[in-house]
Amino acid sequence: MEKISLIFGVAVLSLSGCASIMSGRTQTMTFASTLELSDITIFNKAGKKVHVGQAPVTVNLKRSAGFFVPERYTVVFEKEGYEKKTINVSAHVNGWYVGNILLGGLIGLLIVDPATGAMYSLSTKDTSIVLDALNKGETVDTQSLTIVSTTEVPNDILNKAKPIHMN
């Protein structure tokens, strides 16, 4: 009975893919921006929208775009009055995929992991961005109040100033 269990175990390992078992077809990623509730749109390699919503958001993204084809995403952050920002998420070979070589999983190496896309991992750096205001450095046509000490105001301006009397 032990021989059958051992043979069955070896057969299962050799027919499966390490990355498929350990990582799966999709990868969970979180995207955030300094302005909460900024609009976020995620496009895949083919330019198709795969997610539309608001940041912060956690999404499951496919690791692959096909057999031996890594996926790539463009993530666009937008908010009215702020610069649009774009980040790219690319795929690279998953470390568990190399486990097929060490464990002798030829089918996992050539068929299972490439077919499921688990042979890839998506980059997780730079998933949080800072949106910059569009009017930064420009004068804004709004009323404001600035309080300055009379010792810091030049005399020619101070002579034009009128005191405010409160009743």
Sheet holding 49-54, edge to edge: 49-54, 39-43, 72-78, 85-93, 120-122
Ordered by start, the domain boundaries in the chain are 9-132
Summarize pLDDT for 94-148 with one digit per residue, the tens. Answer: 876 676 666 656 666 666 776 777 788 898 777 888 888 887 555 445 555 667 6
- Strand positions, DSSP E, 34-163: 39-43, 49-54, 57-62, 64-66, 69-70, 72-78, 85-93, 120-122, 128-129
Across the chain, mean pLDDT equals 77
Asked if pLDDT for residue 36 goes beyond 90, the answer is no
Contact 58, 28 (CB under 8 A): yes
Domain 9-132: give its CATH code. Answer: 2.60.40
> Does 162 score more than 90 pLDDT?
no
